[in-house]
Amino acid sequence: MLRVKDAEKSLKFYQEVMGMSLLRTSGNPNADFTLYFLGYPGDKGVPQDGKTSDREGLLELTWNHGTEKDESFKYHSGNQEPKGFGHICEFTSEGATSRCWLT
């Protein structure tokens, strides 16, 4: 799970640049956050029933509502102390199409 400041910009990146599809959205308006599940549909296609439990390699983005409007808001990247998060990696059977994103 990755927390994102701006859902619109993040979804655009993962869909248009990384070629992923939005497979499911889970809105939680009472808690002021939304979850987005992205992946590569493959032969199964995008689930029409919203179920993703049988999918492998999903990327979950969490957007806390309103963070995109707060200029001073930022998440810890994991690259400063204390260090933690390093990268997301995607690997396919066709090594030439593998992608890695580094933070």
Q: How far is CA 6 from CA 16, 42, 46, 55, 94, in A?
A: 15, 27, 23, 25, 32
Closest CA to 74 of 6, 25, 1: 6
Q: Structure pTM?
A: 0.76
pLDDT in tens, the chain (103 residues): 888 989 999 999 999 988 899 999 999 888 999 999 999 888 888 888 888 888 878 899 999 998 888 888 877 777 778 777 666 776 655 554 555 554 4
What pLDDT does 12 receive? 96
| CATH code of the region 2-102 | 3.10.180.10
Domain ranges for the chain, please list them: 2-102
Alpha carbons 78 and 73: distance in angstroms, whole number:
16
What pLDDT does 11 receive? 96
